[in-house]
């Protein structure tokens, strides 16, 4: 969960330094086109925090903020994309013969932005489930 006002204040104080440290170019373009810029950033911040927790690491074990990115499908549905250490962690967590999907849901009700992340592993090509 993120406080939209806190993210707004951080954007005002640190501007591009904050944006470039935490958010990918795709996330920045999306947020800057929106009416509620701070709310859009806050939802993505919350998604990154939730994703790091779903990976079982939090942000203290080497995951970069930018290793977790939220983008939207043409339908508007948000999806998490993992790169770098986050992708490596996901691969290590995923049992052999399974494929992981990272589901994300975003919501906000001013002043709060919230995200839920669930990692699902499904068998690939009829892999046996014990």
Considering the chain, what is the average pLDDT of its residues?
93
Q: CA-to-CA distance for 42 and 118, rounded, in angstroms?
A: 19
DSSP three-state, residue 1: coil
The string of pLDDT tens digits covering residues 36-54 is 999 999 999 999 999 999 9
Each domain of the chain, given as residue ranges in start order, spans: 2-123
Helix (H, G, I), strand (E, B) or coil at 2: strand
Residue (of 36, 37, 40, 55) closest to 2 by Cα position: 40
What does the pLDDT read at residue 129? 66
Q: Enumerate the β-bridge partners of residue 102.
A: 119
Cβ atoms of 78 and 117 within 8 Å: the answer is no
pTM: 0.91
Three-state SS for 122?
A: strand
User: Could you tell me the fold of the domain covering 2-123?
Assistant: Ribosomal Protein L22; Chain A (3.90.470)
| 3 state SS of 15 | helix
Q: What is the pLDDT of residue 127?
A: 63
Residues of the chain short of pLDDT 50, as ranges, are none
Determine the Cα–Cα distance for residues 120 and 103; give it in Å rounded to an integer.
8
C-beta neighbour count of 74 within 10 angstroms: 5
Q: CA-to-CA distance for 91 and 80, rounded, in angstroms?
A: 15
pLDDT value of position 61 = 66
Judged by DSSP in three states, 16 sits in helix
């Amino acid at each position: 969960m993120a406080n939209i006002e806190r993210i707004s204040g951080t954007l005002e104080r640190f501007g591009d330094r904050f944006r470039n440290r935490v958010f990918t170019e795709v996330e920045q373009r999306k947020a800057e086109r929106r009416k509620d810029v701070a709310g859009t950033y806050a939802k993505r911040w919350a998604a990154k925090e939730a994703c790091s927790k779903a990976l079982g690491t939090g942000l203290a074990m080497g995951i970069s903020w930018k290793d977790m990115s939220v983008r939207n499908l043409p339908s508007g549905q948000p999806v998490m994309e993992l790169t770098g250490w986050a992708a490596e962690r996901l691969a290590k967590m995923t049992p052999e013969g399974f494929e992981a999907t990272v589901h994300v849901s975003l919501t906000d009700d001013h002043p709060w932005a919230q995200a839920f992340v669930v990692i699902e592993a499904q068998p690939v090509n009829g892999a046996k489930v014990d």
